[in-house]
A and B are shown apart, each in its own frame.
Chain A
Amino acid sequence: MSGYQGKKNIPRITSDRLLIKGANIVNDDQSFHADIYMEDGVIKQIGENLIVPGGVKTIDAHGRMLIPGGIDVHTRFQMPDRGMTAADDFYQGSRAALAGGTTMIIDHVVPEPGVSLIAAFNQWKEWADHKSCCDYSLHVDITEWHGGMREEIEALVKDHGVNSFLVYLAYKDVFQLNDSQMYEVFSAIRDLGAIAQVHAENGDIIAEEQKRILGLGITGPEGHVLSRPEEVEAEAVNRAVTVANQTNCPLYVTKVMSKSAADVIAQTRKKGTVVYGEPISASLGTDGTHYWSKNWAKAAAYVTSPPLSPDPTTPDYLNSLLACGDLQVTGSGHCTFNTSQRAVGKDNFTLIPEGTNGTEERMSIIWDKCVVTGKMDENQFVAVTSTNAAKIFNLYPRKGRIAVGSDADLVLWDPDASKIISAKNHHSAVEYNIFEGIEVRGAPLVVISQGKITLEEGTLHTTEGSGRYITRKPFPDYVYKRIKARSWMAELRGVPRGLYDGPVCEVTVTPKVTTAVTSGKTSPVKSAPQPVRNLHQSGFSLSGAQIDDNVPRRNTQRIVAPPGGRANITTLG
């Protein structure tokens, strides 16, 4: 519709009415045929023979599938990296997302060293408010850990609608946290009801391997994958899961790139851990053999961390796990850099800025790899591209479901459309597309965001700055019900014994002191045990408060309340 006429000062068209007739509505649990009427960006009615006001724009779906708009849970638009900024900013990126059928993104805030989390969050929010064309939300990355961070996290959770924080196990000396810090972050996050995300790679090993590979004289992009073998990813996943288990914290592993990492997640889920895995467009759609391309620009375009696995059977394997539920969510990890930006690392692969495209291609690739091949059905497709993400990050059922009262973020999906992905016609600003030449079946025909048509007949109608920030409440039911039950069950109990009254060996106090002191010298990791302890203790007091919160917990579910509609969707089928 009239996409371009409204400038930034009119972010929302107040009365935008739309009727879609004869659609095959696909949710994650069922599909059914119905008409759907939306007004003011919200779905007002679903059913047959709807009574709607006159003069409403009508789209005839002719029985095509209408799915909830995709949610891309992992983008890094406009991310600063060593003095450069990602080629796709929030405008370009969200535009590309809409073109691919994704109507909401969750971007990562990456605070620079020394910048407070809240300041960084505000910076990102400002960028996105001005530029984003679709609804967005923000994850906050924890790039360092010290005493005051806990209060910042608390403020972000309680006042700013952030319920997910990412911890880096890689990027040694830059972002990496050690295991103790990870433990503390996870404990804090659990108490606040947020979700711990982890970039899972063992940074220590990578740093050593990078030295070794550079020492061998390998400077090209293939060095990137050689220095980050698959095991390093799987190891870090395993470690993060262990820490999450100990802290009873829900864990979300971003960017599952290899079979062995996916296996670790699948296995730990079988043991009952609350853990979610997120393969991205790149790992689902292509593999890491391109790192050995003779074309430097092409090889460099694939550089991302964790790297794409050189094993060409990886995408198929990950798609299978996605289909069977061992992996749950898909992101894009969209973080693009131009070839000239990448060329900063032309003589040293460790300097190549990392990230691949994928926000536009995500839905089509999953459809092509999973649904067309029969690995999953369309309902499962909706689950992995949208619903699961909405549930985990507490956006459900506002997002991720076609129901009365939900946001009017819809995609009319054409399962038969076929196109060839190419840098020539994609909407990203970069000159290289890692899926170049791949033919995919399944594409969005019409994309409706906030009740407005943003893609129709191949034309994008987006409004810069029209995207809204979507707050996310803590303690998502989908994740935390189990966590809470476990925290009640997992109370540790001591054994009541009489006082030991036997002989006690005499130990002079000095040896114990000396061990502590000397160890302090030798291993500098341990310089701050005292503040650590305090933090932890305070954590426990909050944990107690958490249980008291059972009564106000209802508040979080408030979104669910459908404004007017009483129609029960499940009865319609």
Chain B
Amino acid sequence: MAERRLLPQDDDQGSLLFKLGTDSPKPRVKFGGMFCNIEGAYENKTLNFESYSPSSARRNPKGRVGDQKDNFSDTSSVGNFCVSQTPPSRTQPPTPLSASPGQTIVYPIGHNRLQNERREGDKLIIKGGKIVNDDQSFYADIYIEDGIIKQIGENLIVPGGVKTVDAYGHIVIPGGIDVNTCLQASHMGMSPADDFYQGTRAALAGGTTMIIDHVVPEPGTTLLSAYEQWRDIADMRSCCDYSLHIDITRWHDGLFEELETLVKDKGVNSFLIFMAYKDQYQSSDSQIYEMFSAMRELGAIAQVHAENGDIVKEEQKKVLDLGITGPEGHVLSHPEEVETEAVYRAITIAKQANCPLYITKVMSKTAADVIAKARKKGMVIYGEPITASLGTDGSHYWSKNWAKAAAFVMSPPLNPDPSTPDYLNSLLSCGDLQVTASAHCTFTTAQKAIGKDNFTLIPEGTNGVEERMSIIWEKAVATGKMDENDFVAVTSTNAAKIFNVYPRKGRIATGSDADLVIWNTKETKTISAKSHNLNVEVNIFEEMECRGFPVIVISQGRIVLDDEKLNVTEGSGRFIPRKAFPDFVFKRIKARGRMADARGVPRGNYDGPVHDVISMTQSVPATPTTRGPSCPGKTPLGPARNLHQSGFTLSGTQMDDHIPRRTSQRIVAPPGGRSNITSLS
């Protein structure tokens, strides 16, 4: 094996020096935007990411990467990519490649081989591809070193022994970011079938190089301990970079302090609130308001799982009483309106709290419409359709095959309306929806079968992390709804901007992470449970043909997928901390926070007669606690109030930026008390 590698090495080096940039199949953009070929331009544009990381010392991306780089730099050998020899069309190479010995290195064989492969990835040059960012496309080569894009342009001067990756005829896009996965959250004691290893492996196989997983704290654990637990597991198991959202599943004392710690020291800037799962995770409107206020102060993004849990619960009872126990009961008890209602309510609360809102899992037309309308009214709100809602519909719930029907069970459910995927793709294309995720949370049929006699017990979640990019390409780009730049935006760039990992992720630029995908748009690939990289035996997109798929995936500067051969390293994923106050989201919020100060009317003191209320003590509206039992949702009012007030002091610092206005506000207290109140105007 080693011998055969050495042979192409010479060729490759020769080609590197000799033919560099000359044999592009298409003319290149000479001065393409910010990547024009000016000497020294790249040094200036190299970003200092230290400044983006939170001040915490927690950020220790394993040091492993650095060590290995030192060890392997000498042995860097050439990969299996013979640029110079390969004809521009990419259709032929698969046969020689698959026959080449490098391809036999499949991950389960042995660790040493994996590491060999990783060494090769440290320095890479990608030649001949069309680079696609969300704003423009252009032809250039990319030189990668130490997991970072070092140079972009033509005729790059690179050290010897660099492996060359051929991207002729393909597009090079930033690696996908899957903003919603649940690879660890257990359901009724069952762990998902795809854990961090399987899940991230599948993600890489589909062209996704970063995931953001949801931390779902178990009852009785604090957010911080759940976070640490997720970090430990993900650090050990994850194959690609990851970050974490925290779900608020419980309302307890000290919650706000924990949030603050997570935002300031732990690199978390997004929290999810459940409006569904009554009796388990659901928050009341007051709690949501307080959470939103707190998040705005902290500069975090509020996510909601939008379904009205109260209605769902009642509907579930009703449907079960009707004797419907199969998976179709799931969708019957989660009607579309229930999702729409919750989205509407969340938007209303976010508007009041002036908090940016992010709706996870947009599954229905009407919910998407509500988001689109709210955006038209100026709300800072983002909607996330997922692979399942973009790729398939809910008619399968009525499948006679229980296992198939159960595989589609998730919340909010897939919509039975078969025109939904098309509609959501259209909204995604026109910008009304912005981000895509997979909400990947899989359970095997045996696990799903816990609910074989009662659909409410079926663990919820569908696959999608691997299929996401291909499905969006197929449904939106291949059909002409969006172009390749929009594709990059919705699969990667927007997510990076919203969650503040931009431009480290989500863009091909000098200084960005070398998370790249070489995307084949000329062939088709069929999704099937037989060939996917997941543990589950049913794939909800079975038999779907996609006209775009990744041929080479580069994560952290290493080739992890090469023509369907996965080559991942367990535990190589780094935690990516995210800073608070993402510009993309909070610039508008901040401006509004300054504008939206309510002002009172200066009046004299009322000096007319005041009605004598006998039972004045009863009259205070807050006191009638006799209603406590009937409306028990409000017991945590006491502590909540204090927290809220502290929130306002923080808000004050925000307002201090413009002192004149603040002083004018003070006029509320009437100095002269001159205006006559009682006379009719």
Residues of A within 8 A of B (CB): 82-84, 113-114, 144-146, 171-180, 182-184, 187, 202, 204-205, 207-209, 211-213, 215-220, 222-223, 226, 229, 231-232, 234-235, 238-239, 242-243, 245-246, 292-299, 338-344, 346, 350-351, 423, 432, 436, 492-495, 497-500, 502-505, 507-508, 510-512, 514-516, 518-520, 522-527, 529, 533, 536-537, 540
Contact = CB atoms under 8 A, between A and B. Distances in A.
Contacts of B616: 83
Nearest to A424: B680
A296 B680 CA distance: 10
A83 B616 CA distance: 8
List the 8 shortest-distance A-B pairs measured between CB atoms, nearest first. Answer: A204-B285, A179-B310, A511-B189, A518-B219, A82-B619, A235-B348, A218-B600, A494-B324
A523 B600 contact: no
B592 to A, nearest CB: 14
Contact of B337 (A242, A292, A510, A536): A242
Contact of A297 (B315, B341, B677): B677
Contacts of A436: 680
Contact of A507 (B188, B308, B677, B681): B188
Given A83-B613, A212-B648, A338-B611, A184 B314 contact: yes
A557 B449 CA distance: 53
B345 to A, nearest CB: 5
B105 to A, nearest CB: 34
A83 B618 contact: yes
B558 interface: no
B349 interface: yes
Contact of A235 (B345, B602, B675): B345
Given A211-B641, A346-B606, 10 more contacts: A83-B619, A172-B634, A174-B627, A246-B335, A298-B681, A340-B610, A500-B402, A505-B190, A515-B280, A527-B632
B618 A82 contact: yes
Contacts of B450: 504-505, 507
A327 B627 CA distance: 34
Interface string B432-463: 00000000000011110110100000000000
Given A220-B603, A494-B324, A84 B349 contact: no
A344 B611 contact: yes
Contacts of B567: none
19 contacts: A113-B624, A173-B622, A204-B285, A208-B286, A216-B600, A217-B669, A246-B335, A294-B603, A295-B677, A295-B681, A296-B604, A297-B680, A344-B613, A495-B398, A497-B400, A505-B449, A515-B188, A519-B219, A525-B632
A498 B402 CA distance: 8
Nearest to A82: B619
Given A202-B345, A217-B668, A503 B446 contact: yes
Interface residues of B, number: 115
Contact of B648 (A144, A215, A222, A523): A215
B618 A295 contact: no
B250 interface: yes
Nearest to A539: B318
Interface stretch (B203-211, B326-334, B384-392, B544-552): B326-334
A430 to B, nearest CB: 12
Contacts of A505: 190, 444, 446-447, 449-450
A503 B448 CA distance: 10
A298 B632 contact: no
B60 interface: no
B97 interface: no
A341 B611 contact: yes
Contacts of B680: 295, 297-298, 423, 432, 436
B630 interface: yes
A500 B608 contact: no
A519 B284 CA distance: 13
B304 to A, nearest CB: 14
A184 B609 CA distance: 44
A504 B402 CA distance: 13
B289 interface: yes
A477 to B, nearest CB: 26
A492 B313 CA distance: 16
Nearest to A346: B606
A570 to B, nearest CB: 40
Interface of B: 188-190, 219-220, 250-252, 278-286, 288-290, 293, 308, 310-311, 313-315, 317-319, 321-326, 328-329, 332, 335, 337-338, 340-341, 344-345, 347-349, 351-352, 398-403, 405, 444-447, 449-450, 452, 597-606, 608-611, 613-616, 618-622, 624-628, 630-635, 637, 641, 644-645, 648, 665-666, 668-669, 675-681
B311 A295 contact: no
Contact of B627 (A144, A222, A297, A507): A144
A382 to B, nearest CB: 34
A514 B445 CA distance: 24
A218 B326 contact: no
Nearest to B633: A525
Nearest to A491: B322
A559 B277 CA distance: 48
B296 to A, nearest CB: 12
B473 to A, nearest CB: 33
A524 B403 CA distance: 36
Contacts of A339: 608-609, 678
B348 to A, nearest CB: 4
Contacts of A294: 601-603, 675, 681
Contacts of A537: 321
A139 B353 CA distance: 35
B631 A173 contact: yes
Contacts of A343: 606, 608-611
A497 B283 CA distance: 36
Given A343-B611, A525-B284, A296 B603 contact: yes
B329 to A, nearest CB: 7
B601 A173 contact: no
B189 A507 contact: yes
A508 B189 contact: yes
B344 A239 contact: yes
A173 B314 contact: no
Contacts of B328: 494-495
Nearest to B327: A495
A14 B284 CA distance: 58
B284 to A, nearest CB: 6
Contacts of B447: 505
B614 A83 contact: yes
Given A239-B308, A522-B252, A220 B352 contact: no
Contact of A540 (B321, B329, B614): B321
Contacts of A533: 317
A234 B633 contact: no
Contact of A500 (B189, B289, B403, B599): B403
Contacts of B280: 515-516, 519
A27 to B, nearest CB: 37
A150 to B, nearest CB: 14
Contacts of B669: 217
Contacts of A234: 348
Contacts of A202: 285, 345, 348-349
Contact of A242 (B341, B352, B398): B341
Contacts of A341: 611
B401 to A, nearest CB: 8
Contacts of A212: 644, 648
Nearest to B293: A208
Nearest to A300: B606
Contacts of B675: 294-295
A82 B280 CA distance: 36
A205 B348 contact: yes
A173 B627 contact: yes
Given A177-B631, A242-B341, A504-B452, A351 B608 contact: no
B600 A223 contact: yes
A77 B323 CA distance: 48
Contacts of A171: 621
